Structure 1
Amino acid sequence: MSEAAGALRAPQPLNLPVLYIGVVALLIAGLQPVVLGGLAEAGRLSASGIGLAATAELLALGVACGVCAAVLKPTGLRAKLALACMGHALCNVASLWVADSALIGLRGVTGLFAGAMLWSTVGMIARSARPERQAGIFVTVQTLAQLLLAAVLPRTVMTSWGVDGALLTLAAISVTAAAAAFAAPPAFAPLPRAETGGGRLSALAWAGLAAVFLYLAFIVAIWVYLEPLAATVGLSSVQAHDAVAAALAMQVVGGLAATVAGARLKASHVLIGAGVINLGLVTALSAHPSGPLFLGLVAAFGFLWLFVLPFHTVLLIAIDPSRRAAMQLGAAQLLGSSAGPLAASLVVGDSDIGGAMKFAAACLIAALALIVAVLAVMARRGPVAETP
């Protein structure tokens, strides 16, 4: 057992209801094109409103998850989670009757409830004796659930009820999460006391969180422009959709690979190695590759996306064995996911998305530099086991 795992006196085993609640909280991350696109088709959101609603919900989700991790005690979990899930359900139902700015604001409130839900899952993973395994399971199940609903909703309830059918389905799922909350643990064990800083995060921990933020900004800045990027290399819309599907399928494979092999790999090797490979992928994608090569590069991009995520948890626990930094992981990832495409949109030309690729590459290089710097500081302080 590593120092990070040993610092936790009562490791939290995997709890399926808590895992499920976190998956429900993040469903919207994969369903925004379906839900927000449907709201636009129904005339309840403008084209610019789609981006604002997406940003509002993900930003609120990330901020709420971080604030909950900082201020909420992990006691009375069942009641807190049931209330958060029911609030989430009610917001989805209320979205049936509002439009435009009111709808954007309501989606932000929905994100607040989802952040409280995600807080429980992040807390469970941070308290695990095998955080990389639990994180790998979580990202894999989460992606599969998003894929399933993204495929099923437009072919079932949305054929008759339109986007309202999708919103009501999400509300119903949130109600099932509220019921699952009563099978969650009544409380989590307290996190280990920080040896210094009075429980505040160290500069090194903030650097680690900044690296996570930048990595997700890099990922999503490319992801949201994947279809126009496909068009620049001469792919049809059908082929572009195939590229998206290949990336999503390889995300699942990447999550499974991290779950199975995570304990045998060093976080430093994975994070630096994957970062270097990603730099190569960005360079190759920017060089207008042929259709088959483009599909292969995008598939590799999707694999590394989810393969790397569990090792962020391992890195943060190695930096901060009190696991308080790991409790802020969800917030850093979500804030990076929402800030990346927002910033990239400011540097994209009307007919050229090269600016987005350059911005994404800059985020990746900055993330890699921070990770290398953090590891160098940790090495000077003495060896730290990186995998439980």
Structure 2
Amino acid sequence: MIAEATVVSGRTLALSILIGSCALLVLGVHPVLLGALVQEGRIAEAQVGNLVTIEMLAIVPGSLAGIALLRRTGVSIVAGLAGLAIVAINLFLMGQAGMTTLALARAASGFGEGVLVAVALVAISRVVRVERASAIFLAVQTLLQAIVAASLPAIAIAGSRVDAALAALACAGLIAAAAAVILPSRLSPTEPDSERGAITPASLTALCCAGLFLGAIVSVWGYFGLWLIHYGYPPTFEGMAVSLCLVAQVVGALVAARFGERLPNRKTIIACAIAGAGLVAAFYLGRGSTGAIIGVSIAFGFVWLFTLPFFAGWLVEIDPGRRAVLYLTAFQLGGAALLPSLAGIAVGAYSINAALAFAAAAFLLLAVAASLAVRNKAATR
């Protein structure tokens, strides 16, 4: 529990969640943006995974820097400057091409996005019911992503879908900067615990599994738009599939929030990992059917956000002191950054379908690792 005097108001929480959701809009825009970059000849197909890796990795130090800055500086200044930086970077990228320029700019944007995410994380950490606030954060960010993803494929700026996606990200940065002005002058993280938060082999296994799960998800998500283009589907169909997937994510998060406490954490993770591998296979098998792709997209989105809360529950089971769970976001983002890059190598060596095969293998590896962790715990009793 936290002291009553340090609990943030509902207004502050709502604004902070809006700011964090604007920062993470890029996750919903990625499939459209990356597919359009390749289609317009701005990057090569095999470089898609690298761009995902660069931006996702940059969010990690950005969030850590944001937490450090919030200890010393007012939240309006920190979030306002980060939001304006995101606006400037995305406007600069309009009309730009080439991996070097795009990589440097997306890294800088990812760092700014991480700073904005820190605002939401600090606010959520200062409410009584963290789980409910986290579920609301997941729902809001995903709904925002769904709305934008559904709109983007039908919009072009001077004939460019890339520039339309960049304009959407710039608008999100502007909204975040405006919301930051309304926040109270201070929104500081709680003081760090003096206890050592050593990661045990058991908690490290759970953390690595969390990284594998989100890495496998993003390996599919980052290449999804390009995969649809490869099989001849129009941008409007892509937008519909992506937006329905995002809506299903919201449903998955809310179902987990409502019923998650009744389910065993590790067994649920194992079942969902196996389901993830099956859904990846279903994408490939149903590649010629619009109905099949829509159905699998919805199921994929549901499994995505339904599963994520169970990793926190697993870590709390391992470490009731809740020190290991502090590393969860870093491991998840690390997996989401590194695995798509490895998937990109497979795509370059084989074909776009290699991204699906890679993701399925990661899901199955996660299921095996989590199963062995269960057995190891049982063996030590």
TM range (shorter): 0.7 to 0.9
Aligned position for 2:306: 307
**Structure 1 residues 357 and 268, CA gap change in structure 2 (3 angstroms):** same
Tell me which of 229, 233, 236 is aligned to 1:237. Answer: 233
Number of residue pairs matched by the alignment:
371
Residue 342 of structure 1 deviates from its aligned partner by 1.9
Partner of 1:385: none
Equivalents in 2 of 1:312, 1:194: separation in Å?
25
Judged with a 3 Å threshold, the aligned counterparts in structure 2 of structure 1 residues 231 and 90 are, in CA distance, closer, same or farther, namely closer
Q: Secondary structure at the match of 1:346?
A: helix
Deviation by residue 1:92-127 (Cα, 9 ceiling, x = unmatched): 233247542223212211111111111222334455
CA displacement at 1:296 relative to structure 2: 3.4
Give the Å deviation of 1:139: 2.0
Following the alignment from structure 2 to structure 1, what is the Cα–Cα distance between the partners of residues 293 and 102? 37
Is the Cα–Cα contact under 8 Å of residues 211 and 334 in structure 2 kept in the other structure? yes
Task: Output aligned runs, 1:317-356, within 5 Å.
Answer: 317-321=316-320, 323-348=322-347, 355-356=354-355
Deviations 1:335-378 (A, max 9, x none): 22232222123334876666444432332233234445556677
**RMSD between aligned alpha carbons?**
4.0
Q: Contact 2:315 / 2:322 at 8 angstroms: preserved in 1?
A: yes
Q: How does 1:1-388 map to 2 (within 5 A)?
A: 6=1, 8=2, 12=7, 15-36=13-34, 45=43, 47=45, 50-66=48-64, 74=71, 76-78=73-75, 79-96=77-94, 98-100=96-98, 101-155=100-154, 158=157, 163-164=162-163, 166-184=165-183, 186-188=186-188, 190=190, 193=193, 195=195, 198-226=196-224, 237=233, 241=238, 243-282=241-280, 291=289, 295-321=294-320, 323-348=322-347, 355-372=354-371
Q: Deviations over 1:2-53 (max 9, x none)?
A: xxxx5x5568556011111111111112213444555566665555555543
Counterpart amino acid of 2:207? L
Q: 1:378 to 1:103 in 2, by over 3 A?
A: same
After superposition, the Cα gap between the structure-2 partners of 1:151 and 1:244, relative to the gap in structure 1 and judged at 3 Å, is closer
Cα distance between partner residues in 1 of 2:182 and 2:318: 32
Superposed CA deviations along residues 221-252 of structure 1, whole A, max 9, x for unmatched, are 233455787799xx862697465454333223
Q: How many percent of aligned residue pairs carry the same amino acid?
A: 31
Is the Cα–Cα contact under 8 Å of residues 222 and 340 in structure 2 kept in the other structure?
Answer: yes
Give the drift of 1:254: 1.4
Distance 1:12 1:231 in 2: 48
What CA distance in whole angstroms lies between the structure 2 residues aligned with 1:183 and 1:345? 42
> Could you state the TM-score of these two structures normalised by the residue count of structure 2?
0.78
Task: Give distance in 1, aligned partners of 2:156 and 2:125.
Answer: 37
Cα distance 1:370–1:12, how it changes in 2: closer, same or farther (>3 A)? farther
Is contact 2:211–2:335 with CA below 8 Å preserved after alignment?
yes
Instruction: Provide the C-alpha distance between the structure 1 equivalents of 2:19 and 2:112, rounded to a whole number of angstroms.
Output: 11
Supply the distance in 2 between the matched residues of 1:43 and 1:279 (Cα, whole angstroms). Answer: 31
Give the aligned residue type for 1:304.
V
Gaps of 5+ in 1: 1-5, 383-388
Select between 253-262 and 279-288 the one with higher mean Cα deviation: 279-288
In 2, the alpha carbon distance for the partners of 1:65 and 1:283 equals 34
Q: Which amino acid aligns with 1:64?
A: G
| 1:342 partner amino acid | S
Residue type of the alignment partner of 1:363? A
Per-residue Cα deviation, 1:279-319 (whole angstroms, up to 9, x for no partner): 44445556669845565344322211111123333334444
Q: Please give the secondary structure, in 1, of the residue aligned with 2:157.
A: helix
When normalised by structure 1's length, the TM-score is 0.76
| Contact 2:80-2:180 at 8 Å conserved across structures | yes
In the alignment, the residues of structure 1 paired with residue 95 and residue 352 of structure 2 have an alpha-carbon distance, to the nearest angstrom, of 36
The separation in 1 between residues aligned to 2:45 and 2:176, in whole angstroms, is 32
Which sits farther off after the overlay, 237-246 or 358-367? 237-246
